[in-house]
Amino acid sequence: MNKKIITCMAAIACAVFLTTPAAFAATSVLKGDVDGNGVVNVDDKALLQSYILGNKVNIVQANADVNGDGSIDAIDYAAIGKMVNTNIKGDVDGNGIVNMEDKTRLESYLLGNNVNIVATNADVNGDNSINSIDYADLLRMIK
Ligand SMILES: [Ca+2]
Ligand SMILES: [Ca+2]
Ligand SMILES: [Ca+2]
């Protein structure tokens, strides 16, 4: 009888242990991640700007209020601006790493699509123009 109860309790504890991390992931706050996709990049900056300008866009309020003062405003926008990387050549989306996502984003930008980019990072060769030469340089960086 006692053994059965203990087994049952262990099972419950185990179930709680297994489900808790997932629950945390769904509700945890990532300051700066305005769109709630799990990374802070130039898209979050652009989305917050749109929100502050009064556009009806969906944002994760807890993430957008970076300084936690209960209002989402220009101060938070400036804070996110600092979180988005502008000093890594090739980091087109400004998330701090150079990878295939940056390649895809630059490709889309060069095709004329309306995508957000960090211009200083996308201009890989630093000639003040973002073009196929930068794209070729970026390809070499991630290979
Ligand atoms: Ca994000
Ligand atoms: Ca704030
Ligand atoms: Ca990147």
Indicate if 105 and 73 belong to the same structural domain.
no
Q: How far is the CA of 36 from the centre of ligand 1 (A)?
A: 5
Q: How far is the CA of 30 from the centre of ligand 3 (A)?
A: 17
pLDDT tens, residue by residue, 90-112: 999 999 999 999 999 999 999 99
Pairwise CA distance, residues 73 & 86, whole Å: 22
Indicate if 72 and 6 belong to the same structural domain.
yes
Q: How far is the CA of 42 from the centre of ligand 3 (A)?
A: 9
Query: Could you give the number of structural domains in the chain?
Result: 2
Indicate if 70 and 9 belong to the same structural domain.
yes
pTM: 0.79
Indicate if 72 and 111 belong to the same structural domain.
no
Q: How far is the CA of 79 from the centre of ligand 1 (A)?
A: 14
Domain that holds residue 110: 100-142
pLDDT tens, residue by residue, 3-47: 665 555 555 554 544 444 444 444 689 999 999 999 999 999 999
Residue 95 lies in a domain: no
| Strand, coil or helix: 129 | coil
Indicate if 78 and 109 belong to the same structural domain.
no
Q: Provide CB contacts within 8 A for 28, sequence distance 6+.
A: none
Judged by its nearest atom, the ligand closest to the C-alpha of residue 39 is: 1
Indicate if 60 and 110 belong to the same structural domain.
no
53: CATH = 1.10.1330.10
Of 84, 34, 24, 29, nearest in space to 60 by CA? 34
Higher pLDDT, 70 or 3: 70
Indicate if 10 and 53 belong to the same structural domain.
yes
Mean pLDDT of the chain: 89
Instruction: Please say whether the beta carbons of 57 and 47 come within 8 A.
Output: yes
Indicate if 12 and 43 belong to the same structural domain.
yes
